[in-house]
Amino acid sequence: MQKSPITKYRPYPVIDLPNRQWPDRVIESAPIWCSVDLRDGNQALAIPMSVDEKVEMFKSLVKIGFKEIEVGFPSASDTEFAFVRRLVSDKLIPSDVSIQVLVQCREHLIRRTFESIEGVENAIVHIYNSTNPLQRRVVFGKKKEEIKQIAIEGATLVKELVPTLPKTNIRLEYSPESFSDTELEFSLECCEAVSDIWKPTPENKIILNLPATVELFTPNVHADQIEWFCRKLTRRDSSTISLHTHNDRGTGVAATELGLMAGADRVEGTLFGNGERTGNLDIVTTALNMYTQGVHPELNFSNLNDIREMYERVTRMDVHPRTPYSGDLVFTAFSGSHQDAIKKGFSQQSEEDDARWAVPYLPIDPADMGRNYRAIIRINSQSGKGGVAYIMEKEYGYQLPKEMHKELGKSINRVADETGAEITPEGVYACFKSEYIDIKEPIELVEFRNERIDEHTVEVWAIISHNGTSKNLRGTGNGPIAAFFNALKEIEINDFELLSYSEHSLGRGADSKAVSYIQLKNTVTSIVRFGAGIDTNISLASIRGVISALNRLMK
C-alpha cells in the first residue's frame, strides 16, 4: 500500500445538488424487478449454465414473480441464441412476462438479436455502449460526439426493425454503460439522444438504465446522481429509470435503496448477488429488506431454501453462510444471552396473523421464508441454557422447568468444551438422555405398581436394584410419589426432600408418553439435582423421575 499522502487514488467529486430530496423519502412500494441472472449472472460463472439449466432457472424466476427477465446475449454465442429459441419453441414465456435481450450498439449484432426474439409476445431490446471518459480514451479512442452517435445509430436500427416483428410488443432499454463513472451531463445527453429517436410516450415508455457498472463511491453519491438525472431528464413521464448496481465497495444494496428513494422506478439484479467481480445487486436481500419494513416486494421468497438449492446447483456457486436472509448462519445464535432472548421472544410472540413481529435479534420471522427453526439456535461452548432449552422444546417437545435449564446447559457446555465442536440437536438430546433418562446406577427400577386404597391413600409395591442388590419395597402415602418416598425410607434412602415436580405429555394420542421432572435436594450436602422420567403411565413416569434425580444426587 502507498504511504500517506496517497497520490495513486483520488476521491470522486461530490455532486452539486441543492435541496436534494431523497434523504427525506422512504420506500413505500416495490419497484419493477428485472432479473439478470441468466445474462449478467451467467457470464460471471466459471462454467456457464447449459440450456437445460437456464430453462430451470427461468421457470424458477417466473415462479418467484419476476415480470421482466433478461435471458441472455443471443448475438454473442450459439448457446445463448439457442436458449432464447428454446423459450419460444417450448412456449415457456407467460403472457405477462417480458424477456429482455442485451446487445451492443452494433448493426450485425442487433439484427441477430431480432432473429432470436421472433415469436416472442413481449420483449425488451436492451442496447448499450460505454460512455465514461476512461473507456472513451483507452478502449475506443473516440470523442464524445462519436460515442453518442453509436447510441443514436443503435436506437435507430432497433426502431427500423420493430415492424419486422409485428406480433411482438417491443420496448427499448438503453444503458450508458459505466454511468457511475461518466460525466452526468454526457450520460443525460446520450439518453436524451436515444429518447429523441425512440419517441416514447407515457403509455409506451423507454427504459433508461443507469448502471453503476463499477461501484466507485458511497451510496449517497449514487443517490445524488439518480436524483440529478431524474430532475434534468426531458421526458421523465415517458421514461422508466432503472438501476443496475454492482458491489465493488460492498454497498450495492444500499446504493440501490437510496437510488429508489432518489426517484428510480426499476431495479436490475440477481438472486444472491451473483455477478462480475464482487457481484451484482442481491435482489433477495433488497426485496426482503423491504418486506421487513412492511412493504411487500411483489416477489415470493416463501420457499427460499428451495430457491437457494436450485441456484447453487445450476450455477455451481455457494451462498455464503453469512449472506443476509439466505445464509446458513444468519438466523443462528451461538451466544447464550442471545439464545435466551430469542427463546423468550418466541414464547411471547403472538400467533395472530396481524401481530407485529417482535423477537430479539431476529428482524424477520424465518418461517416467512420457509427457514427451519433448527437453524436459529445452535450449540457450542459459547452457548447458554436458553438455547439448550429451546432445542429441547422445539425439536423434541420437552418443556423443561426453568430451574432445570442451567443444569442441563452446564452438561451440554461440558461436552462442547471437551469436543471443541458444535453440538447438534441430536447431540443435545443424546446428552439429555444420558444425563437423565438412561442413568441406572446406583438405583434401577425393576418393577412397580400402585393401588389407591381410599380417597387419601395410595399404596405402592416396587422392586429395585440398589448397588446390584435386589430390594422389595412397599409403602403408602397420599400419592404415588409420597408412597414411594416412604418405601425408600424403609431401606434407609431418606436424606433428600422434594423441591418441585412437574409433568406434561409428549405428543398426542392414546399411546403418547408422559415426562416428569423431579427436583430433589440432598438434606446433608444441600446439593440440588433434577431428574426426568418417561413412560406411557403418568405415575410410572413420576417414579422414574424420582429415581433419576436420586441417581444424579448420588453420583
Same domain for 233 and 148 = yes
Give a yes or no: residue 527 inside a domain.
yes
Check residues 299 and 11 and name the one with the higher pLDDT: 299
Give a yes or no: residue 198 inside a domain.
yes
End residue of a domain, out of 437, 470, 502: 437
Q: Which residue has the cell 495513486?
A: 8
Residue 376 pLDDT grade (very low, low, confident, very high; cuts 50, 70, 90): low
Same domain for 199 and 131 = yes
> Which CATH number is 246's domain given?
3.20.20.70
Same domain for 250 and 197 = yes
Whole-number pLDDT of residue 93: 98
Q: Which residue has the cell 435386589?
A: 470
Angle at 520 between CA 515 and CA 521, to 5 degrees: 165
Grid coordinates standing for 320?
455464503
End residue of a domain, out of 257, 285, 315: 315
End residue of a domain, out of 286, 315, 344: 315
Grid coordinates standing for 85?
429459441
CA distances from 320 to 147, 275, 305, 308, 312 (A): 40, 14, 13, 11, 11
Average pLDDT over residues 479-494: 91
Please write the tens of the pLDDT for every residue from 82-128: 999 999 999 999 999 999 999 999 999 999 999 999 999 999 999 99
Give a yes or no: residue 11 inside a domain.
no
Residues in the chain: 555
Question: Measured between alpha carbons, how far is 341 from 26 in angstroms, rounded to an integer?
Answer: 30
Residue 344 pLDDT grade (very low, low, confident, very high; cuts 50, 70, 90): confident
Q: Is the pTM of this model over 0.75?
A: yes
Same domain for 373 and 224 = no
Whole-number pLDDT of residue 528: 95
Give a yes or no: residue 76 inside a domain.
yes
Same domain for 543 and 514 = yes
Same domain for 205 and 349 = no
Same domain for 299 and 191 = yes
Same domain for 411 and 279 = no
> Which CATH number is 504's domain given?
3.30.160.270
Give a yes or no: residue 186 inside a domain.
yes
Q: Is 99 left (phi over 0), alpha (psi -120 to 50) or beta?
A: beta
Same domain for 230 and 308 = yes
Q: What would you measure as the largest C-alpha separation in the chain, in angstroms? A: 106
Please write the tens of the pLDDT for every residue from 186-217: 999 999 999 999 999 999 999 999 999 999 99
Give a yes or no: residue 8 inside a domain.
no
384 pLDDT more than 70: no
Enumerate the β-bridge partners of residue 470. Answer: 465
Give a yes or no: residue 502 inside a domain.
yes
Average pLDDT over residues 233-241: 98
Average pLDDT over the chain reads: 92
Which structural domain range is residue 428 located in? 336-437
Same domain for 275 and 411 = no
Question: Measured between alpha carbons, how far is 99 from 266 in angstroms, rounded to an integer?
Answer: 15
Please write the tens of the pLDDT for every residue from 15-71: 999 999 999 999 999 999 999 999 999 999 999 999 999 999 999 999 999 999 999
The domain tally of the chain equals 3
Same domain for 241 and 205 = yes
Give a yes or no: residue 207 inside a domain.
yes
Check residues 507 and 231 and name the one with the higher pLDDT: 231
Whole-number pLDDT of residue 375: 55
Same domain for 209 and 351 = no
Whole-number pLDDT of residue 419: 81
Grid coordinates standing for 181?
463513472
